[in-house]
């Protein structure tokens, strides 16, 4: 399953829960800009690219940082939704 989130700083992060691979787009990148309109499509494209590269040196640290960003952003969004109930 692909999960993704637009971050507060304008960045965009996506991850594949099956492979564990992630992808991050900086706030100024075209992927982050396009994700504002087509988040699920951009997430799928970014994760597909990450999956093609597979495991490479340093990949674990990169993916761990991105999963932390995803969990933090999704948690903040969930807490905001709970506050509005």
What pLDDT does residue 28 have? Answer: 95
Q: Residue 85 — pLDDT band, cuts 50, 70, 90?
A: very low
What pLDDT does residue 55 have? Answer: 62
pLDDT in tens, 25-81: 999 999 999 999 999 999 999 999 888 877 665 677 888 888 888 888 877 776 665
Distance of CA 30 to the CA centre of its chain: 14
> Which residues are bridge partners to 14 per DSSP?
4, 23
Q: CA-CA distances (angstroms) from residue 61 to 20, 25, 47?
A: 12, 16, 17
pTM: 0.76
């Amino acid at each position: 399953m692909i999960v993704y989130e637009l971050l507060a700083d304008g960045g965009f992060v996506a991850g594949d829960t099956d492979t564990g691979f992630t992808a991050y787009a900086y706030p100024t990148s075209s992927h982050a800009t396009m994700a504002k309109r087509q988040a699920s499509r951009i997430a799928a494209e970014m994760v597909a690219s990450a999956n093609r590269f597979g495991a490479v040196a340093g990949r674990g640290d990169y993916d761990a940082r991105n999963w932390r960003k995803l969990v933090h952003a999704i948690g903040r969004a969930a807490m905001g939704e709970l506050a509005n109930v």
